[in-house]
Amino acid sequence: MEDAVRSNMTEFWKEHSREATVQEMMLDSHAVELTQQELPEILSMLPSLTGCRVLELGAGIGRYTSHLLKQANHVTAVDFMESFVEKNKQDNGHHKNVTFVQADVTKLEFPPNSIDFIFSNWLLMYLSDKELKLLLTEMLRWLRPGGSLFFRESCNYRSGDCKREFNPTCYRTEAQYNHLITSVQMEDENERFGFDIVLRKRVRTYIEVKKNPNQICWLLEKVARSSDTKETFSNFQMFLDNKQYTRRGILRYEKMFGSGYVSTGGPNTTKEFVDLLNLQPGQKVLDVGCGIGGGDFYMAKTFGVEVLGMDLSENMVDIAMERALSEKLPSVEFEVADATKRTFPEGSFDVIYSRDTILHIADKLALFKCFHSWLKPGGQLLISDYCCGEKPWTPQFEAYVKQRGYILYTPSQYGKFIQDAGFCNVEANDRTAQFIQVIKEELQRADEIKSEFIEEFSEEDYSAIVNGWREKLERSKSGDQRWGLFHARRN
């Protein structure tokens, strides 16, 4: 079956590669115009490739090869169509740091740990699930620990002027790609490795130009997996999406906090805190831990700013994207991303905003140094987050923090991290009294909508949220749990 599909694919591409043009390669008569817009967008998602050994799979005529060569120490450009390889050689063969290979990607061989970065654009959709899983496993083997894989695919959508009829089953959904990614593992000298998702994002150019939201990019990192066989989830992201932030769990939070919100105070605290920023039209805002996007839509609609919302939870971002369709705000984008591994050019944003998210992150100083770099001179940082009182804590609070995997500091310690990262005018405010008042108000609202909530969800869901709030009240009143608000600027 796979041999027949591959034969049909070869014949198809022979027919559509005679001139080796970008229009043929992309199967789109508007390919030149699309490339001008999408190429810088795709490149902006890549990590620094300085000094890297890069493998480009499905390189085609070299649309991306020339750009990868500008940074990388060496690029191996692979494609299975001879005419495309020859065109790439013609345009990029003068570079001394490139090797061209004509081959079927399912038959490639490279030494283990020999590659720093793998780039693939519109290739994996041509492989069967079996072929793709084998290739992902091989790529995991070829990459060094900490190395990255970037790929972009059409998800469950036929784009372009020509229909690719030789293997229509290969148009997968995002969920199917995510499942394949998380299922791939390999052993290397008694150590187990897998992929973590650093970034998953839609290609904005295709949304704006073609009304096609199904062009998706992934950036993955090769990471070591715990050898503890009792571990239920392979990484923190899977824990969040399967335990703390299931889709049902998110929607029940929203029912309590207000439409679009899953954090303390909902729209009221959002308005209060955002007003501190004096946002101006056209400014760029990064929301770290955006949840389901309520704050991002508020900032864009009220102040005319551009917002990029990122969250590690795929469930959160999926719901945010659903809401974005009805909001019709092109100035708001969302991505699944790990803030500790994401990169942006220096001075990319006017504001970095985060609500009750960084409690999950261990090395806060390193993250704040990244924030400092990503902000423009004079840019602002605004964070609300869970904090703690001075130790010793009560045993109950110790158990709570351990169970949630939180990394907490006192408000003053938290503010010191921000200052040490290079920020000035640091304001570290203990807002625990406000936190307590907000929880009391939310408990009152919960009582008012109890019947409606139980009808929509269940009595068990209602009790889980209400009991959780009551426990927060006790922890806050005892002095163990604190809530901090932090505002600072980059010089």
Separation of alpha carbons 487 and 277, rounded Å: 9
Tokens, residue 203: 């290609």
Distances in Å between the alpha carbon of 119 and those of 14, 28, 434?
Answer: 23, 21, 48
pLDDT tens digits, 298-331: 999 999 999 999 999 999 999 999 898 888 888 9
Residue 228 has pLDDT above 80, yes or no: no
Report the pLDDT averaged over residues 225-240.
Answer: 59
pLDDT of residue 196: 92
Farthest CA pair distance, the chain: 75
Give me the torsion for CA of 120, 125, 127, 128, rounded to 10°: 140
Count CB-CB contacts under 10 A for residue 79.
29
Report the pLDDT averaged over residues 186-202.
Answer: 90
Q: 3-class DSSP state for residue 152?
A: strand
Element (H or E) spanning 476, and its range?
Answer: helix 459-478
pLDDT band at residue 238 under the 50/70/90 scheme: low
Burial 197-230 (b: 16+ CB within 10 A, else e): bbbbbbbebbbeebebbbbbbbbbbbbebeeeee
Separation of alpha carbons 271 and 458, rounded Å: 30
Report the pLDDT averaged over residues 156-184.
Answer: 66
pLDDT of residue 227: 59
Higher-pLDDT residue of 50 and 156 is 50
pLDDT tens digits, 363-378: 999 999 999 999 999 9
pLDDT tens digits, 324-340: 888 888 899 999 999 99
Separation of alpha carbons 259 and 156, rounded Å: 29
Separation of alpha carbons 40 and 53, rounded Å: 21
pLDDT of residue 469: 95
pLDDT of residue 40: 93
Walk me through the domains of the chain, giving residue ranges and CATH numbers. Answer: 2-231 (3.40.50.150), 237-489 (3.40.50.150)
What's the DSSP call for residue 422? T
What's the DSSP call for residue 349? E
* pTM score, whole prediction: 0.88
129-142 and 174-183 helices cross at what angle (nearest 10)?
A: 50
Residue 94 has pLDDT above 90, yes or no: yes
pLDDT tens digits, 450-490: 999 999 999 999 999 999 999 999 999 999 999 999 999 99
Separation of alpha carbons 137 and 490, rounded Å: 43
What's the DSSP call for residue 243? I
Q: Extract the runs of DSSP E, i.e. beta strands, from 226-348.
A: 284-288, 306-311, 332-337
